[in-house]
Structures are given as C-alpha cells and as structure tokens.
C-alpha cells in the first residue's frame, strides 16, 4: 500500500540515520519529499541518492532555530506545491552534562536545539493544514524523556516534546489534523562497534538493536490515512525497553 503517495512531506533533521530513513521510505512510497536542514553536504547526499532511485525530493538549507528562515522556507514549499500534508520534526541535539557541570548555555542550548525548530515549523505549517482541513504532524522524541542520569537538559527537552504533542493534538483535532509522537529507543548507529551493539542489545527484551528503518515504519503509520483516529499518542519503538526502563540503566 502506498501509504503516503502524492502527499507533500516536510522533514526536518536529516543529519542522523533516522531522518534519512524516513525521507527514503516516504520517497519510495510516492510522497513529494522536502528535506530541510543546515548541513548542505548532508542534504545534497541524501537528495542525490533519492533522486537516483527515482524519488521526488527537494532540499532547502535553513537554520532551524531562526523563525524568519522557517517562515521563508514554508512559504517556498507552498509556492512550489500549494500544500503541506505531513510535517516530521526530527531536529535534535543530544549533548548533555551532569547538573553540577551544566552551564547556563548548556541548558538553554539543549532546549533551543530540540524545541525551537519544532515550534517554529508547527506555527507556520498548522495554518496551512487548517486551510486544507488535513494534516499529519509527527514529532520524534526518545526514551530519554522518561529520564536519564546526567542528561537533565536533554531529558527536559525530550519530555517537553511529549507535552507539546498532546497539547497541539487537542488544539487542532477539530481541523482533521493529527499530532503524534514516536519515541525511539536504542537504535544502531553507523559508528557503533560490534562490541557496542552486543552490549546494548543484551539490555533489551528483544536482544537486538533497532534500526532507523524501524522508526521510519512507525512514522509512516502516523503519517498515513491508516491512522485517522490516533492523535496525541506516543508510540515507543524501543524493543520493549520502555517497560523496564529504570532496570536497564
């Protein structure tokens, strides 16, 4: 089933494997994909790969924490396509410090990096979706929102995504717009050694790490018309880790 065929999908945060996997899957399923970010090299590489496979993709270089640039970016997408059906907020910065070593800048930067792009994009895109009486917003968080020692700033930001998702879902429910969250667990990264993978997998009920594609599948569910009655929800893609999270630290 072409779950997002011909939908216009705006995706932020493609510097990690998850953002790239989402963009690739959506393009494969026939979406008109627009990727945005501040790393031109990464944007070029991803766009080139998708185009080579026959996917429909465009790229825009933008500073996600600049509300003026976000406003111009959404305007450019509207000029090109006339609508935005799907918004995926994946921008993040996972840097963290123990509370006693955390500076004012550490605290504010973590909140800004993880929350500002999501807020600015939603503020610009929701009116567009309201006009069309259709929209799917998916915010990417992770298990750190439950709490993690030494990451108070990062966990606070990820927890805020949970509350933001629920509040926005209630605000726009009458407009046929759904807002949901996908909270990722331990996902295999390209720079992990086999030893790292084996150690992390041993702590999980399923005894294996997830992949970026696992997260993309969950995002695809919320982004499609197969989930019109699901809103304000958080789906854990974590191999069962959320069920005994405190035991796996």
pLDDT digits (tens, 9 = 90+) for 174-210: 999 999 999 998 877 767 778 877 887 777 777 888 8
Helix (H/G/I), strand (E/B), else coil: 226: coil
Q: What is the residue extent of each domain of the chain?
A: 8-238
pLDDT exceeds cutoff 70 at 247: no
**Which range is least confidently modeled, 80-89, 191-200, 223-232?**
191-200
CA–CA dist 172, 125 (Å, integer):
12
According to the CATH classification, is domain 8-238 in 3.40.50.720?
yes
The mean pLDDT of 157-181, rounded to a whole number, is 97
For 137-147, what is each residue's pLDDT tens digit? 999 998 877 77
Q: What is the pLDDT of residue 42?
A: 92
Q: What is the pLDDT of residue 241?
A: 76
Q: Which helix (H) or strand (E) holds 86?
A: strand 86-89
What was the pLDDT predicted at 240? 74
Distance of alpha carbon 246 from alpha carbon 249, whole angstroms? 6
Checking if the pLDDT of 149 tops 70, the result is yes
pLDDT of the residue at 147: 76
Q: How far apart are CA 10 and CA 247, in angstroms?
A: 37
Instruction: Using CA atoms of 129, 160, 10, 85 in order, give the dihedral in degrees to the nearest 10.
Output: -30
pLDDT at 103: 93
Helix (H) or strand (E) holding 56: strand 56-61
Q: To which H or E segment does residue 118 belong?
A: helix 104-132
End-to-end CA distance of the chain: give it in Å, rounded.
Answer: 39
Mean pLDDT over 28-39 rounds to 94
Q: Using 50, 70 and 90 to split pLDDT, how confident is the model at 117? A: very high
Q: Which entry of 134, 145, 154, 229 is annotated as an active-site residue?
A: 154
CA distance linking residue 206 with residue 46, whole number of Å: 31
Mean pLDDT of 65-71: 94
- Would you state the pLDDT for residue 45? 94
Predicted confidence at residue 56, as pLDDT, reads 93
Q: Is 154 one of the catalytic residues?
A: yes
Identify the residue with better confidence: 64 or 220.
220
Please give the Cα distance from 134 to 179 (Å, whole number): 11
pLDDT of residue 151: 87
pLDDT of amino acid 1: 45
- Could you identify the residue written with the tokens 């667990």? 185
- Give me the pLDDT at residue 245, please: 56
For the chain, the average pLDDT equals 90
Q: Is 236 helix (H, G, I), strand (E, B) or coil?
A: strand
For 161-184, letters b (16+ CB in 10 Å) and e give bbebbbebbeebeebebbbbbbbb
Q: What is the pTM of this model?
A: 0.93
């Amino acid at each position: 089933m072409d779950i997002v065929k011909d939908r216009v999908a705006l995706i932020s945060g493609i510097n990690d494997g998850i953002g790239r996997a989402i963009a690739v899957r959506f393009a494969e399923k026939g979406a008109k994909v627009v990727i945005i970010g501040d790393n031109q090299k990464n944007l070029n590489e991803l766009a080139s790969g998708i185009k080579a496979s026959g996917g429909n993709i465009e790229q825009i270089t933008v500073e996600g924490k600049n509300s003026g640039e976000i406003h111009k970016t959404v305007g450019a997408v509207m000029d090109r396509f006339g609508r935005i059906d799907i918004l995926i907020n994946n921008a993040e910065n996972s840097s963290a410090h123990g509370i006693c070593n955390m500076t004012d800048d550490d605290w504010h930067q973590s909140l800004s990096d993880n929350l500002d792009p999501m807020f600015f994009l939603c503020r610009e895109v929701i009116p567009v979706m309201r006009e069309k009486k259709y929209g799917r917003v998916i915010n990417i968080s992770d298990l750190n929102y439950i709490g993690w020692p030494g990451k108070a700033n990062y966990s606070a930001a990820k927890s805020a995504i949970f509350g933001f998702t629920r509040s926005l879902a209630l605000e726009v429910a009458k407009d046929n717009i759904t807002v949901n969250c996908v909270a990722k667990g331990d996902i295999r990264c390209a720079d992990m050694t086999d030893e790292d993978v084996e150690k992390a997998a041993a702590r999980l009920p399923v005894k294996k790490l997830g992949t970026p594609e696992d997260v993309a599948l969950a995002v695809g569910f919320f982004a499609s018309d197969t989930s019109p009655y699901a809103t304000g929800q958080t789906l854990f893609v974590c191999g069962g880790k959320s069920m005994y999270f405190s035991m796996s630290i």
